[in-house]
Amino acid sequence: MLLARRRQQLTKEDYQRKCRLRPAIEGTISQFKQRTHNAKVRVRGLRKVRNSLILMAIAINFGRIWAYFLENTLDPIWFLILGVLLLLFWAKRWVKRSTRVVFGA
């Protein structure tokens, strides 16, 4: 009975959509392990580790997009322009956050 119920779930579109995401996630985890020397991060502290891993994930995904552009002979200049704009937007938000002064106790 449990096996029959499981087989019914395997045929649903939602489950198949989630299964298609798995190879991309597995590849990302593999690249994380390669870049962090088997999950040993060079920074200490929860915030620094979190920020480091987020930036590393962004770098991995940008590398994949860059490889896709080169492989499919699309013009990579549009990708570079988009990346620069995103970095400028992020830097602007970061500067606004870091210059706030909080008074009071």
pLDDT confidence bin for 98, thresholds 50/70/90 = low
The answer to whether 12 and 33 are in contact (CB under 8 A) is no
Out of 22-26, 60-64, 90-94, 98-102, pick the least confident: 98-102
pLDDT confidence bin for 100, thresholds 50/70/90 = low
The answer to whether 35 and 52 are in contact (CB under 8 A) is no
pTM for the model: 0.51
What is the model's pLDDT at position 25?
76
Give the tens place of pLDDT for each residue, 48-74: 888 888 888 888 888 887 787 778 766
The answer to whether 47 and 53 are in contact (CB under 8 A) is no
Residues 6 or more apart in contact with residue 28 via CB below 8 angstroms: 57, 60, 61
Residue 17 reports pLDDT greater than 70: yes
